[in-house]
Amino acid sequence: MKTLPSDIERGSMAIIAQELRVRGITLPPENAAVVMRCIHASADFDYAENLRFTPGAVQKAVETLRSGAEIVTDTNMALAGISRPGLKKLGGEAYCFMAESFIAETAKQNGTTRAVAAMDYAAEKHPDAILAVGNAPTALFRIAERIEAGLRPRLVIAAPVGFVNVVEAKERVFETCGKYGVPAVAAMGRKGGSSIAAAICNALIYTATDMLDPKARGWS
């Protein structure tokens, strides 16, 4: 029997929905697509409880994407995982500046990490972008500082993975976003990663393009 890619994704989502019911977890409808895609990307049901959203974050992000918003990530891995066809359909683009030589040079001159230099560059050149962070807590600390100084990104995705300053960075940026009215989605705690940052982006892109079902993406 031939199993098609679209059937695999639909079957996976059905299993996730069933297991959530068994666990007694009911997802808010407006956040369900994001949560389920993170679980789908990781096979980790903790995301049903550790993902936090500022009020209306998903709706605002979808509206932003439909207006052609750009996405800036902190890793090329996250960049590679974002659906380019979906983003193109919305008139948007995605970028990662971490590997640029001028970012490395700026970081060296300023005594910062490349993630900090990349977020500073994004703040200057793409101030209305969605900022998707899946690796560097220093990027989140800088984003929080820039928001306090007046930056208003369209959405902050806070999903670094790790042990050093990861929890603190997520808490800091989520609190700052809430204080200044910046939409945010954060994978609280230690878990996350580039794949989760990309999964959140894709859930939003697929929602904005009515492509949550894989057949709408041209899958057989």
- 48: its two tokens: 């049903």
Contact assessment for residue 133 and residue 140, using Cβ atoms and an 8 Å cutoff: yes
Q: Residue 95's closest CA among 67, 128, 62?
A: 128
Known catalytic residue at 40: yes
Contact assessment for residue 219 and residue 4, using Cβ atoms and an 8 Å cutoff: yes
Q: Which residues pair with 94 in a beta bridge?
A: 71
CA torsion angle for 89, 183, 52, 20 (degrees, to 10)?
A: -30
Q: How many CA atoms lie within 13 A of 65 on its CB side?
A: 29
Per annotation, catalytic residue among 37, 40, 170, 172: 40
Question: What separation in angstroms does the CA of 110 have from each of 97, 100, 127, 151?
Answer: 17, 16, 21, 20
Catalytic annotation, residues: 40
